[in-house]
Amino acid sequence: MNAPLKLGIAGLGTVGAGLVRLLSEHRDRLSLMLGRELAVVAVSARDRSKPRDCDVAGCRWFDDPVELARDPGIDCFVELIGGDEGPARQAVETALGAGKHVVTANKALLAKHGVALAALAERNGVALNFEAAVAGGIPVIKALRDSLLANRVDRVYGILNGTCNFILTKMQDEGRSFADVLAEAQALGYAEADPTFDVGGFDTAHKLAILTSLAFGTRVAFEEIHVEGIEQITEADIQAADELGYRIKLLGVALRTPSGLEARVHPAMVPKHSAIAEVSGVTNCVAIDGDRVGNLLLVGPGAGSEATASAVASDIVDVARGLVVPPFVTPVRSLKPHTRARIGEHEGAYYVRLSVYDKPGAMAAIAKRMGDREVSLESVVQRRHKPDVSSGAGRAHVGAPATVTLITHETTEEAIRGALDAIFADGKVSERPQMIRIETL
């Protein structure tokens, strides 16, 4: 049997502890398959005294992860600290510079510094593996980096954040408000005390930046992604989507267009009959359109101790087998610049919700603004006001806003946004219009 692969693990939180347990429980089986042992010989975490659901008693302890990264007694540095700067970045750079393989689950670090880290790994002839950085236990990185190399990928998209999918699923199934379900997600540990990173779409955008580079051979460009979150999704939107035959999902989408790459994160209405509409709760999914395989859909757990530890372990197995490939498939020197397609050029149908003042001429003015931008409407639905029983009149209060739902025919995003900006400026609506893209997938 060959010499053990000596591992140093920085970060013993949920994923780190799960990884230590996995490697211990499957030690004999993995050793038999690989012809060498995967040995955790050193660890680093902030608090030595914290109780942990894993056994690291026989490991050397480092209070500073950077010191662990340069330790000559390890072959592979496993970074599970998190964050795009500070100790995580310093430790990964140190390990790569010292000629050590690196395995990380850090999507934020890769979205911001992925190209520079990949270049450092290539210069030193070591692996930089990050299967766990996107979609948890779903093996999408390996699919793009290995299995689909013979395909030209034209589109990659999916549900990449379990917190948002949990919230939207609960709103759909239980008729609850965004704020109410968010509070439950926080209580269950699915959402942080400050949930902006998740519900604002930024977590999805970090993951999409990585997938875009792998799929299209471009430099990682998080800053080029158009990002919208789910904070403005209401019960009325969920109900309208259901009546129209759709479900609302937060999608990350990247595709080729004649003018460049269209990369966007936003809520979308997807047909109820589509496979992606059935992905519920904290589950993730990634779809890949290849010119030879057609459409592939990978579905599975996007987070959690066991699923993420499984993805990290798969990267360690590749290192043990001696597999070293360019981190982003294409060597860094050959990665193309990310040429961004104008988001306004996106064409499709749109759902629009308006709170229209019940005044003469309001709808005519709205229709004119749509016509001015050559936006044609497939349907218009106005919901009646509830009777004003407090007045005893038994009829709607004249002048109160009415909810009007519009579905457009295919148009450009530039046109529909321009029309809605004009409608809001006219003062015919009580709040800024809600717009959600309809994705036929």
- Please give the positions annotated as active site: 207
Nearest by Cα to 358 from 424, 403, 394: 403
Which contacts of 422-426 are long-range, i.e. CB under 8 A and separated by 24 or more positions?
422/369, 422/372, 422/373, 423/354, 423/365, 423/366, 423/369, 426/365, 426/369
Both tokens of 46, joined, read: 């902030």
Tell me the one-letter amino acid at 379: S
Q: Residue 432: what are its φ and ψ, rounded to 5°?
A: -60, 135
The Cα 226–Cα 262 span in angstroms is 9
How far is 399 from 308, CA to CA, in rounded Å?
Answer: 54
CB 79 within 8 A of CB 128: no
- Let me know: does 56 contact 40? Beta carbons within 8 Å: yes
Structure tokens at 29: 């089986």
**344: number of CA atoms within 13 Å, CB side?**
6
Question: Tokens at residue 22, please?
Answer: 């996995």
What is the rounded distance in angstroms from the CA atom of residue 270 to the CA atom of residue 428? 29
Nearest one of 260, 243, 257, 271 to 441, comparing CA atoms: 271
260 neighbors 216 (Cβ within 8 angstroms): no
Cα four-point dihedral sign 214, 219, 221, 225: negative
Using CA atoms, how far apart are residues 59 and 349, in angstroms rounded to an integer? 57
Residue 165: CA count within 13 A, CB half-sphere: 24
329: left (phi over 0), alpha (psi -120 to 50) or beta: left
User: What is the rounded distance in angstroms from the CA atom of residue 25 to the CA atom of residue 216?
Assistant: 38
Non-local (6+) Cβ contacts of 44 within 8 A are 8, 9, 10, 11, 61, 62, 63, 64, 65, 67, 68
Kindly provide the b/e burial profile for residues 7-30, where b requires at least 16 CB atoms within 10 angstroms of the residue's own CB.
bbbbbbebbbbbbbbbbeeeeeeb
